Amino acid sequence: MGVNCRFLFSRLAKSAFIGFPFLRSVWTKMDLSLPDVRGMTELDRAKFTKEVTVPSVEIQSKNVGKSMPVFKKYLLKMEKLKPVTEVQENDERRKLLLDPILFETFDKLREEDQQKLSELDLNKNSFSNTCLHLEYHNFRIDDVFKAVLPEGKEGCTSYSRIGHIIHLNLRDHLLPYKNLIGQVLVDKLIGVKTVVNKSSAIDSTYRNFQMEVLAGEADFVTEVKENLCTFKFDFSQVYWNSRLCTEHERIIKLLPQKSVLFDVFAGVGPFSVPAAKVRKCRVFANDLNPSSYHWLKENVRLNKVENVNTFNLDGRQFIREQMPPFLLTRPTEPIHVTMNLPALAVEFLDAFIGLLSGVELDPLLDITVHVYSFCEESSAFSEMRTKVESALKHSIENEQIVELVDVRDVSPKKHMLRLSFRIPPDVLTKAAEEETSSEPKRLKLDLETQDR
C-alpha cells in the first residue's frame, strides 16, 4: 500500500494513521517521565520501563459481555496490552483495565449505567487501582519520541510509506537521532522493513534522489497498490510520491471511457496504467529515466493492461514525434495529455507550438492538457496561468480552462498546482518558429522507439 501522512512526534490525542492506528494516549494523568532516555541517540529498549497505575474492576467471567455496553468506551487501549485479563487463581472472574482519562469513578457514571452495573452485582466498591509494568513494547511511537527528543524544539516531520519502506525528510536538529527514529519505526509499524532519509534534492533529469538507510534492510524494490492497480518499482531509482494518490485518482476520473492519453512524464505509470485498466483508454506513456521506463513496462505487464505504448524519450521529443502521427488520423475520441513534472513541465509546453503547422483542423481536435507547476502561495493561481500562457505564447480564454487545482502544499509558501485546459487550435497550427523549425518534423510513427 501506498500511503501519505503527517507524523507528529508530539502526542496526538485523536488521530488516524494509515497502517498504524494512533489511539488516544492513556497517560495524560500519569507520570511517564523517563529521565534516563532523554537525548538517547542509539535505541536502548531496556531503559523504557515504567510503573503506572490505572483504574480497574473485577467482574464475573460470564458477565463480561453483558458489561460491555457500559465499559467498552472506557477500556484501556495500549500497545501489546489486553484490557480484559484473567484474575490469578480464579478462572471465574476477569479484570477490566480502564482508561484513567475516560473513567473517573463509579459515581461519575450516568445513572442508567450505574443501574446496569448494579444488576451485575457491581458498585463503587468493586473498583480499585491496578499497577502495570510498562516496557518498550507498550510505548507508542509518539511517546517514545516525546521522551527522547530535545524539549522545546519542533518535534515533527513528514514521511511517506511506500510498501515496506518509510521515507523520511528529517530536519537538521533531528539528524543526531536519525538511527533511533528509524529503528523505532521499524519496531512499531507493521510490515515496515526499511526506513530511509532523503539526503539530497530531487534530480531534475531523472526525478530520483540520494537516500540513506536509517534502519532495516537496504531493499528498495517495493510494491504499492493504488487506484485498483499494483505498482512495482525500485524506490531508489525512480520517482514515487504517495501524497499524489488523490491527484492520480482525480485525473483518472476526468478521463472519459475509451479516450486517449499521452502521458509525457509517466514515471512508473500512476496515470497510464489505471487509465488503461480502469478507463479502457488508449495510452502513449513516456519517461526519460531508463529505470522508470523499465518499471513502467513491468507495471503494464503486471496489471495485464492492453493498448499501452511505452517510450523512453525526452518529453519534448515525445510530444513532437509521437503525437502528430496520431493526431493526423483525425481521431474522434477526446485526447488528454498529462505533464506531471512540476519543476519543469511548463517549459515543455512550447513543443505544442506549430505541432500541426500547415494542417487545417476541421473538425477541431479535442485536446485537454493537464500541466503541473510549483507556484508561490500568495499569487499561485495567477502565476500558474501566466506561466502557461507565456510558454505557449498564446492566451487561454476562460472557457478553455477546465480547472485550476491546488494539488498540495510543498512548503508554507510553495504550492503544487495543476492547470487543466483545452489547448487553443491556433497554438497547434501556428507556423513553426525559427528556433524549432530547424528540427525536422517527423510525421511517420517511429516503431523502433515504442514498445507495447
Distance CA 253, CA 169 (A): 31
Helix (H) or strand (E) holding 372: strand 367-376
What global pTM score does this model have? 0.81
Question: What is the pLDDT confidence band of residue 433, given thresholds at 50, 70 and 90?
Answer: low
pLDDT over 60 (residue 22): no
Q: 310-324 burial by CB neighbour count: b if 16+ within 10 A, else e? A: bbbbbbbbbbbbbbb
pLDDT over 70 (residue 154): no
- According to the annotation, is 366 in a ligand binding site? no
pLDDT over 60 (residue 10): no
- According to the annotation, is 219 in a ligand binding site? no
- According to the annotation, is 121 in a ligand binding site? no
Q: Report which of 266, 233, 223, 234 is spatially closest to residue 248, judged by C-alpha positions.
A: 266
Q: Report which of 120, 173, 144 is spatially closest to residue 45, judged by C-alpha positions.
A: 144
- According to the annotation, is 340 in a ligand binding site? yes
- According to the annotation, is 248 in a ligand binding site? yes
pLDDT over 60 (residue 203): no
pLDDT over 90 (residue 163): yes
- According to the annotation, is 315 in a ligand binding site? yes
Cell of 13: 490525542
